[in-house]
Amino acid sequence: MSAAPGLPLALRDPAQGVHGLLPAGQGGPRYLVAWLPAWSLERCGWTAATPAVVVAERRNATRVVALTPAVAAEGLAPGMTVAEARARVHGLVVERLDEGGEAEDREALVASLTRFGERVAAWGPEAVVIETSAVTGWFGGEEALMARLQERLVELGHEARLALADHPRAAHALAVHASAPTLVPPGEGAAALAGLPFAALQPSEELAASVRALGLRTVGDWAGLDAASVAGRFGEEGLTLHRVARGGLGPPWASLPRPGPRERLRLPVDDELVQVDEVLASVEPGLRRLRDQLAGRDLVAAALELRLELSWGPSVRVRLRVARPTRDPEVLLRLLGDRLSRTPLEAPVTGLLLHASEVAPDGQGQQDLLDRREQAGAWSELVARLGDVLGEQALAIAALREAWAPEAAWVPCRLGEAAPVPPGVADDPVERQEGAAWHAERPRPTLLRSPPLPLRVRARGGRPVAVGVRDGWSPVRRARGPEHLEGAWWTPTGGFARAYWVAELPEGLAWLFQERSQWFLHGWF
Amino acid sequence: MDDTLARLRQQIREIEGGPVQQVRAAPSGLPGLDGLTGGLPCPGLVEVDGPVGGGRTRLVLGWAAQATQRGARVAWVDPAGSLYPPTAAALGVALERLLLVRPVEERLAWTADQLARSGCFGLVVLAALPDLRGVVARWREAVRQGRTTLVVLSDRPARLASVDLRLQVREGVAVVQRRRAGPVGRALALPPWPEGLDPLEGGGRSPWAVRAPGSGRGRSGAV
């Protein structure tokens, strides 16, 4: 624990270092995160000065999963075996992890903090996130609100470090990694985060490794990348974290990403398992425990991960994403059975670890596509099956976006996820307003070629009169145009400037365009 | 006389391998077709072919619009990824109810089967022609189980065995090539484009009649 309770708030101003009281409710939503690093011990009644650890079964041994600052100073660390910890600290108090009890206590803590915000939720095992915008005024401003919350947490026996920012991820990063409670003025998240390590944004292992490979160390380094190249290279996760790093506003509460329970459930395996049915029989009690854990936090699982440890060779990870998040053990067991039956295993299973890798608030609907509740089971199973065989990227719904280039006027969205904000557009209100609904109100083809097909075209006075086909020329019966589309001239590639024509060919109605004297077929009506 | 006809039709269905059951019909959005057949057969197998650019995709998008506006989901299996959703939306398709699926070529038939069988969709569109060996009987069973309509959309006639309805679309006209009962050869004009969207006629909101908005970051307009 690096922050003592009741410390005066060191308010961060990127320019001045210390900032005064802020007026309440400037702009968009504001998020306050309370990080409680010793939660597991405090709920057992131990204080920071007690030489105590919480232990659980991990990697075939009883290991430390939480510890007080007192024993951390003695050199203990998470992951040590309990025997090693006892050898290092005389008189060590050892508490066994009680996940069900923790969930109940966490729920009680959340309930006790509801007056500090419009909405309050647990964020992983050691933090609470509060949307404060609506109540800040009642407390006399954000600084006073933070001070009052700190006092309340001390009254409840918890040491906590607080941070308040525009984005919940930013607030979480600052609560965990800054050395003092932090209040980030609206719109100044980027500067506040710049000095933190990139890991503070909680990236996936894959993204963290990629960013390390680029030599980027801090959030500021990451924010300095071009948004378009981040989108192209690191996908949606990269884009999301890039927006956070640049001080973007937080998402709607319903879509707030909340990590699943930190702890993986190690499931007892009495003997080597060689049949799928045997594995499922061992997984079933774990799914029931998971259901209880999630229910305690009013969450449902959107993605599951089951790690199968084999008697020899590397373990096998089975990932499962469900279309409609659920905690129903029967549904999850059926989907896992379906997946396991197609997963080749080269050795008997000797260990099982279950983890809800992605969770969502219970009762939150997803896309409208998924809203026929009577078919939720069939839908989930269908999506899981198709995703297994075709790949998750093969399934999408379309979201329209404002763009001048016809091919950029929509994006595919993965099921269960909000439409991504296209790079370069979100920050450009002119583009957003002017491009809106442009394509929807004009003749556009039903099929679009990607990329456009270069064509030979005979033109007279700029108007197409014949189109080259394999064995000669196909006459253009009627043509309508040109419609000039141009845009993105500010990009490094120089953008596009096209003259579009609708051409009635014997084959059908085609959408052609001419750009820099070259003709292309772009679509069919 | 009616009983005799009904018995004969039932026997023909049995010979063709089709399910002997009550076939409902969903409105197709094509008044001529609805008047002729009562709408799209559901459950049913429908084949729509014709040259690209002739209106076949617009016709089926109209069916998709009808289905999504009724609250049903629609699956569009599009291995080429060429469907243009902005036009689908302009034709009335509720995109949030349209599932786009891009399987590899080898999984086309299986994907259509799974989607139709799931019971999650009011309409399943397969916008490509897979290898049809051995799949039609499975599709028939799938649409019966899933109580849906499977539309096979292609540029050449698939000539599926025991298809419920086959239409050929060319130059904005659909011709009934086959249906379960009743005459064939009837030509039906496709419904008009929504106002302003007709590619050749344009309309009051024709892009050639409007000024480009704004500052010129992106522009469209007449020369």
Chain B closest-CA separation from residue A244 CA (Å): 27
The span from the CA of B24 to the CA of B34, in Å, is 12
Q: Which two tokens stand for residue A119?
A: 């909405």
Residue of A nearest to B86 (CA): A440
pLDDT the model gives residue A139: 81
For residue A295, the tally of other CB atoms under 10 A from its CB is 14
**Do the chains contact at A507 and B51, CB–CB below 8 Å?**
yes
Residue A234: inside a domain = yes
Q: Is residue B64 included in any domain, yes or no?
A: yes
Whichever domain contains B158, its CATH number is 3.40.50.300
Is pLDDT above 80 for B15? no
A270 and A387 both lie in a single domain: yes
Bridge partners of A129, per DSSP, are A33, A121
Residue A214 maps to which CATH number? 1.10.150.20
Does residue B215 sit within a domain? no
Judged against a pLDDT cut of 60, whether residue B211 lies above it is answered with no
Q: Which A positions 393-422 lie with beta carbon below 8 A of chain B? A: 393-400, 403-404, 406, 409-410, 412, 415
Q: Same structural domain for residues A459 and A514?
A: yes
Q: Is residue B151 part of a domain?
A: yes
What confidence score (pLDDT) does residue A402 get? Answer: 73
ipTM above 0.85, yes or no: no
pLDDT of residue A255: 52
Determine the length of chain B.
223
Range of the domain at A509: 443-524
Separation in Å, CA A371 to CA A287, A304, A376, A386, B52: 25, 22, 8, 19, 34
Domain that holds residue B110: 39-192
Using the CB atoms, write b or e for A146-155: b if 16+ within 10 Å.
bbebbebbee
Interface of A with B in 453-482 (CB under 8 A): 478, 480-482
Q: Which of A394, A434, A502 sits opposite B214 (nearest CB)?
A: A434
**Better pLDDT: A244 or B17:** A244
Q: Angle of helix A205-213 relative to helix A227-245, nearest 10 degrees?
A: 120
Do the Cβ atoms of B102 and A394 come within 8 Å?
Answer: yes
Q: Can you say whether the dihedral through the CA atoms of A67, A72, A78, A79 is positive or negative?
A: negative
Chain A CA closest to residue B93: A398
Give domain status of residue A38, yes or no.
no
Q: What is the CATH number of the domain that holds A76?
A: 3.40.1170.60
**Per mean pLDDT, which of A204-213, A479-488, B23-32, B144-153 is the most reliable?**
B144-153
Residue A360 lies in a domain: yes
Cα separation, A395 vs A22, in Å, equals 46
Split into its structural domains, chain B has a count of: 1
**Within this chain, do residues A386 and A404 fall inside the same structural domain, yes or no?**
no
CATH code of A334's domain? 3.30.1490.100
Q: With CB atoms and an 8 Å threshold, state whether B219 touches A406.
A: no
Quick check: is B206 in a domain?
Answer: no
pLDDT of residue A434: 43
The answer to the question of residue B79 being in a domain is: yes
- pLDDT value, residue A403: 75
Q: What local confidence, expressed as pLDDT, does residue B99 receive? A: 95
Q: What local confidence, expressed as pLDDT, does residue A180 receive? A: 86
Q: Looking at the structure, do residues A426 and A452 belong to the same domain, yes or no? A: no
- Inside any domain, residue B73: yes
Residues A316 and A387 in one domain: yes
What is the per-residue pLDDT for A399?
A: 85
With respect to residue B29, please indicate whether it lies within any of the assigned structural domains.
Answer: no
**3-state class of A133 per DSSP?**
coil
Closest by Cβ to B213, choosing from A367, A434, A444:
A434
pLDDT at A424: 40
pLDDT recorded at residue A416: 58
Does the distance separating the beta carbons of B101 and A409 come in below 8 Å? no
Are residues B208 and A502, on separate chains, in Cβ contact within 8 Å?
no
- Give the span between the Cα atoms of B87 and A167, in whole angstroms: 36
Q: How many CB pairs under 8 A join A and B?
A: 196
Find the residue in B nearest to A433 (Cα).
B214
Which portions of chain A are predicted below pLDDT 50? 1-26, 257, 259-260, 364-374, 418-436
B106-to-A120, A218, B111, B129 alpha-carbon distances in Å: 49, 45, 10, 11
Across the range B68-87, mean pLDDT stands at 93
Interface of B with A in 23-62 (CB under 8 A): 51-55, 57-58, 61
pLDDT (tens digit per residue) in A57-97: 776 778 888 888 788 888 888 888 989 999 988 888 888 88
